[in-house]
Amino acid sequence: MAENFEIVERVGVSSVSISDAIKSAVFGARKERPVAWFEVIQQRGRVADNGDLEYQVTVKVGRKLG
């Protein structure tokens, strides 16, 4: 039987940019297993106390098993 992948869902948080939040989620998931692909699922955020935006980006990450 052929190779398998798992898909895990992560939320990256960044006060800098959406890209930074994506990177945070992807590189966090990559610490445990090689990342084959990712897909941005949701882009949310809040206004921080200093008036800056904080981005919370949900990313599905495909990782090779075995």
- β-pair type (53-64, 35-47): antiparallel
Query: Which one of 5, 33, 49, 50 is in contact with a second copy (CB under 8 A)?
Result: 5
Q: Is 47 in the site for a second copy (CB under 8 A)?
A: yes
Q: Is 20 in the site for a second copy (CB under 8 A)?
A: yes
Residue 12 burial (10 A CB sphere; 0-12, 13-18, 19+): buried
Q: How many CA atoms lie within 13 A of 37 on its CB side?
A: 4
Q: Is 45 in the site for a second copy (CB under 8 A)?
A: yes
Q: Is 33 in the site for a second copy (CB under 8 A)?
A: no
- Please name the residue that has the structure tokens 């990450």: 61
Binding region for a second copy (CB under 8 A): 1-15, 17-28, 30, 35-40, 42-47, 53, 58, 60, 62, 65-66
